[in-house]
Amino acid sequence: MKPAPFEYVAPEDRAEALQLLNQHGYEAKILAGGQSLVPAMNFRLAQPAFLIDCNRISDLAFLHPSENGEVRIGAMTRQRTVEQSRIIAERCPLLHETMPHIAHVQIRNRGTIGGSIAHADPASELPAVMIAVDAQFHLQKHDAERWVPASEFFLGMFTTALEPEEMLTEIRLPALPARCGWAFREVARRHGDYALVGVAVVLETAGGGACRQARLVLLSVGDGPVVAEKAANLLI
């Protein structure tokens, strides 16, 4: 299969990419790792007239700890970098444990954290994990920027709060509460396949075995991540 004809640009900096997005809006698509977009273009499920390749924009690929316990991750950071990061293992063990469930290592070498979040596949692991850990997303366009909580970002199947001229630039993971537990489980036919069902959980305990807060987020069972509020309330 071959994609429909398209124009290709590979800007060197973020401002240029945002300007191009502003000019081409609905006609344009950002190319991140290409692991979902390129197959979709080859099947002609996606036919962008304009492809903005962000792989040369170095300030979109970073992973930093903040002094307040947060972790800041650039949208173009490869999934494999997140998986292998000691900072993530220490500060966000739920994400660390989840990463190997995403596809295969070859795909994670190219696929980006931002691409997976922006793609919003209901069977994806990262959207559910982002809600479970209460992540914040930085969305930017040529003349404005905003922060959106993960819980308000995923609007449905392959649909997010991103406007056509906006780019996801950064993911911010808050510090986990001092007394907390977490888990990720999924069922897939084979390792690396998309999940048939999965769940990401973060619990905060109040001591004495009491559960103060709980976030349980399911994947692959609806149009997007499903927050199991009743189950969380039962635990609390």
Instruction: Give the binding site for ligand FAD (CB under 6 A).
Output: 29-37, 39, 75, 102-103, 107, 111-112, 114-116, 118-119, 121, 124-126, 162, 167-168, 194
Smallest gap from Cβ 213 to ligand FAD, in A, equals: 26
Structural tokens at position 25 = 């809006």
Q: Which is nearer to ligand FAD, 96 or 214 (CB)?
A: 96
Q: Which is nearer to ligand FAD, 18 or 214 (CB)?
A: 18
Q: Which is nearer to ligand FAD, 102 or 201 (CB)?
A: 102
CB 189 within 8 A of CB 123: no
Smallest gap from Cβ 34 to ligand FAD, in A, equals: 4
Is 54 in a helix, a strand, or coil?
coil
Structural tokens at position 84 = 């292998």
Give the whole-angstrom CA distance, residue 231 versus residue 234.
Answer: 5
Smallest gap from Cβ 115 to ligand FAD, in A, equals: 2
Q: Which is nearer to ligand FAD, 39 or 222 (CB)?
A: 39
Smallest gap from Cβ 103 to ligand FAD, in A, equals: 3
Smallest gap from Cβ 222 to ligand FAD, in A, equals: 15
Q: Which is nearer to ligand FAD, 20 or 126 (CB)?
A: 126
Q: Which of 138, 34, 42 is nearest to 79 (CA)?
A: 34
C-alpha 171: how far from chain center: 8
Give the whole-angstrom CA distance, residue 1 versus residue 7.
Answer: 18
DSSP conformational letter for 3: P
CB 104 within 8 A of CB 175: no
